[in-house]
Chains A and B, each alone.
Chain A
Amino acid sequence: MSQKQEEENPAEETGEEKQDTQEKEGILPERAEEAKLKAKYPSLGQKPGGSDFLMKRLQKGQKYFDSGDYNMAKAKMKNKQLPSAGPDKSLVTGDHIPTPQDLPQRKSSLVTSKLAG
């Protein structure tokens, strides 16, 4: 720790590393922020940056289509009129019967980029 403070540029490593002033203030700014977060979301896990974040990151882009839901909804709708499009176009599971048209259309950008304009 002491080596760090002897680095050439004393303006670096503020906040956490300014131990004297922080000790006087009692709480490091990061810890204060952490306390704020824990107050808002008490259920936030003990081990941050672990599996939860990473799994969320790995699953980016996942759109869930549940064939069970699909078939159940289809069965329910057998005697009723099929809805042309659900009220919520982004919904692709649950009672809503998704069709390829309902999946958020990811049309490619046929328009030329505005950077080239």
Chain B
Amino acid sequence: MFPKFSLRSMFHGAGGGNDIQWCFSQVKGAVDDDVAEADIISTVEFNHSGELLATGDKGGRVVIFQQEQENKIQSHSRGEYNVYSTFQSHEPEFDYLKSLEIEEKINKIRWLPQKNAAQFLLSTNDKTIKLWKISERDKRPEGYNLKEEDGRYRDPTTVTTLRVPVFRPMDLMVEASPRRIFANAHTYHINSISINSDYETYLSADDLRINLWHLEITDRSFNIVDIKPANMEELTEVITAAEFHPNSCNTFVYSSSKGTIRLCDMRASALCDRHSKLFEEPEDPSNRSFFSEIISSISDVKFSHSGRYMMTRDYLSVKIWDLNMENRPVETYQVHEYLRSKLCSLYENDCIFDKFECCWNGSDSVVMTGSYNNFFRMFDRNTKRDITLEASRENNKPRTVLKPRKVCASGKRKKDEISVDSLDFNKKILHTAWHPKENIIAVATTNNLYIFQDKVN
């Protein structure tokens, strides 16, 4: 037995090893099955306090929900999330010079920690990152001397007395404005953005390069990783995700299509092509198949809140790595192992290339990721118990506890189980997010956003 390195959760609040009962809370989006492409949700992210929840879609739009203040009288559940702001972040573009269509799809949203009354977030499509300021306006000036209330100018000769304009309350207006546009730094498609713990810089990663930006400077960017080979025919792997360490401002990781993760230290050199650590699980060469490399491709990498661990998601599993141990993960959780005997058809319908994300709960004791048939999975690192739940409108009575689901891999299907062949591979949950402090999760199906909460007694 190899010694267990996991850190026992210090906080037994959110998700600390006790069996949580998840209840439906809300669902957002259209009911009809006819999904317009623009409505496909492409990213979901809570802000640092969990009060705001942002979604991005294929149509380039961002919708931000705000948690309402808890109703002291009716403490059945935590506050609901209602629409706070929505805006068009990115527009489609066509690069006529390169014959390249630039999708407006929002690949990632990352929130900045709140410094003043306004909220800031970074949103990115394949090519351009934008810094958005979301601010509230609940007062407006009234009583100008030279202007009427409707804006028309008054004839100065008709003014006989002077008054001091005053601010009067108005209906809350939430405005989103683009404050910075970080463009023209990526030849390939941006897959990740990550804000540094210094809150001044951030990185953006595409298939072959990672750039470092300063939030105030848009006309310059430093390239910190470049894996483009001199001869493109020698290309063997691409960057799939990248993230800054939550506490060490000099450290970041990036994952590859070959299942490796490289940790880099920016103090070592300006160009971090040489990694400080290489995380890779050894593979038995006799087990290798045509699919091995494809299913080992890492689709997401996330540091734990503590910074001690990182989690990677490949096609069939979730792996937890201790940053102090490079040669293998400390924990591996099978998401949907029953798909291993379906790889041929999953390759044919391209599902094998689906990029699932993963996330930690606030205390790093539970991890979550999505699967097919609108199922999502949670793994409790302490109890080693896992659960499969479904995001479906059938369970949409508030405070109804979700029933665990089970997939029958082979043989006799028990009642309430679903067989592998009945799974709907068009219903994929690629994006999930966990509130930083509470047991509230946001789960995105193709075009709907579900919010679940744990049962509050």
Which residues of A line the B interface, CB within 8 A? 1, 3, 6-9, 11-16, 28-34, 36-38, 40, 44, 48-51, 53-55, 57-58, 60-65, 103-104, 106-117
CB-contact partner of A116 in B63, B94, B291, under 8 A: B63
Query: CB distance B344 to A37 under 8 Å?
Result: yes
**Are A30 and B60 also in contact (CB < 8 A) when A12-B334, A15-B337, A61-B100 are?**
no
A116 to B100, alpha carbons, bound, how many Å? 31
Query: CB distance B238 to A51 under 8 Å?
Result: no
B30 at the interface (CB under 8 A from A): yes
A1 to B269, alpha carbons, bound, how many Å? 37
Chain A proximity mask over B249-270: 1 for CB below 8 Å, otherwise 0: 0000000011000000000000
A33 to B338, alpha carbons, bound, how many Å? 13
Query: CB distance B207 to A57 under 8 Å?
Result: yes
Q: Which residue of A lies closest to B62 (CB)?
A: A113
B158 at the interface (CB under 8 A from A): no
Looking at B68-76, B84-92, B160-168, the stretch in contact with chain A turns out to be B84-92
Query: CB distance A115 to B449 under 8 Å?
Result: yes
B293 at the interface (CB under 8 A from A): yes
Query: CB distance A106 to B104 under 8 Å?
Result: yes
CB-contact partner of B292 in A14, A30, A50, under 8 A: A30
A65 to B99, alpha carbons, bound, how many Å? 6
In angstroms, how far is the closest chain B Cβ from the Cβ of A117?
A: 7
Query: CB distance B30 to A30 under 8 Å?
Result: no
A32 to B447, alpha carbons, bound, how many Å? 35
In angstroms, how far is the closest chain A Cβ from the Cβ of B63?
A: 5
B284 at the interface (CB under 8 A from A): yes
Chain A proximity mask over B96-108: 1 for CB below 8 Å, otherwise 0: 1001111110000
A12 to B1, alpha carbons, bound, how many Å? 15
Chain B, interface size category, equals 35 or more
Kindly list the 7 A-B residue pairs having the minimum CB-CB distance in the complex, ordered from nearest.
Answer: A49-B293, A109-B59, A106-B92, A29-B341, A33-B343, A36-B344, A33-B344
Chain A proximity mask over B44-66: 1 for CB below 8 Å, otherwise 0: 00000000000101011101000
CB-contact partner of A62 in B41, B99, B291, under 8 A: B99
**Are A113 and B290 also in contact (CB < 8 A) when A62-B100, A108-B92 are?**
no
In angstroms, how far is the closest chain B Cβ from the Cβ of A30?
A: 4
Query: CB distance B290 to A109 under 8 Å?
Result: no
Within 8 Å CB of B343, what residues of A?
Answer: 30, 33-34, 37
In angstroms, how far is the closest chain A Cβ from the Cβ of B394?
A: 20
A11 to B61, alpha carbons, bound, how many Å? 42
Within 8 Å CB of A64, what residues of B?
Answer: 99
Within B340-366, the residues touching A (CB, 8 Å) are 340-344, 347-348
B226 at the interface (CB under 8 A from A): no
Within 8 Å CB of A103, what residues of B?
Answer: 94
**Are A116 and B86 also in contact (CB < 8 A) when A15-B337, A33-B289, A61-B101 are?**
yes
A110 to B449, alpha carbons, bound, how many Å? 21
Query: CB distance A108 to B238 under 8 Å?
Result: no
Query: CB distance B29 to A114 under 8 Å?
Result: yes
A64 to B94, alpha carbons, bound, how many Å? 12
Query: CB distance A29 to B101 under 8 Å?
Result: no
B136 at the interface (CB under 8 A from A): no
B412 at the interface (CB under 8 A from A): no
Query: CB distance B238 to A106 under 8 Å?
Result: no
Q: Which residue of B lies closest to A29 (CB)?
A: B341
Q: Which residue of B lies closest to A16 (CB)?
A: B287
CB-contact partner of A57 in B29, B30, B238, B332, under 8 A: B238
Query: CB distance B284 to A14 under 8 Å?
Result: no
A60 to B348, alpha carbons, bound, how many Å? 18
Looking at B194-202, B210-218, B229-237, B431-439, the stretch in contact with chain A turns out to be B229-237
Q: Which residue of B lies closest to A64 (CB)?
A: B99
In angstroms, how far is the closest chain B Cβ from the Cβ of A38?
A: 7
B175 at the interface (CB under 8 A from A): no
Query: CB distance A55 to B235 under 8 Å?
Result: yes
CB-contact partner of B101 in A11, A12, A36, A63, under 8 A: A63
Query: CB distance A8 to B88 under 8 Å?
Result: no
A110 to B61, alpha carbons, bound, how many Å? 9
Within 8 Å CB of A57, what residues of B?
Answer: 207, 238
**Are A34 and B289 also in contact (CB < 8 A) when A51-B233, A54-B238, A115-B63 are?**
yes
A114 to B344, alpha carbons, bound, how many Å? 36
In angstroms, how far is the closest chain B Cβ from the Cβ of A23?
A: 11
Name, among A28, A30, A117, the residue most crowded by chain B CB atoms within 10 Å (CB to CB): A30
Name, among A44, A55, A64, A112, the residue most crowded by chain B CB atoms within 10 Å (CB to CB): A112
B12 at the interface (CB under 8 A from A): no
Q: Which residue of A lies closest to B188 (CB)?
A: A58
Query: CB distance B291 to A34 under 8 Å?
Result: yes
The 17 listed contacts between A and B (C-beta, < 8 Å) are A13-B332, A14-B337, A32-B341, A33-B341, A37-B290, A40-B348, A49-B293, A54-B236, A61-B100, A64-B99, A106-B94, A106-B104, A113-B61, A115-B29, A115-B41, A115-B55, A115-B86
A77 to B364, alpha carbons, bound, how many Å? 66
B294 at the interface (CB under 8 A from A): yes
CB-contact partner of A33 in B57, B59, B232, B291, under 8 A: B291
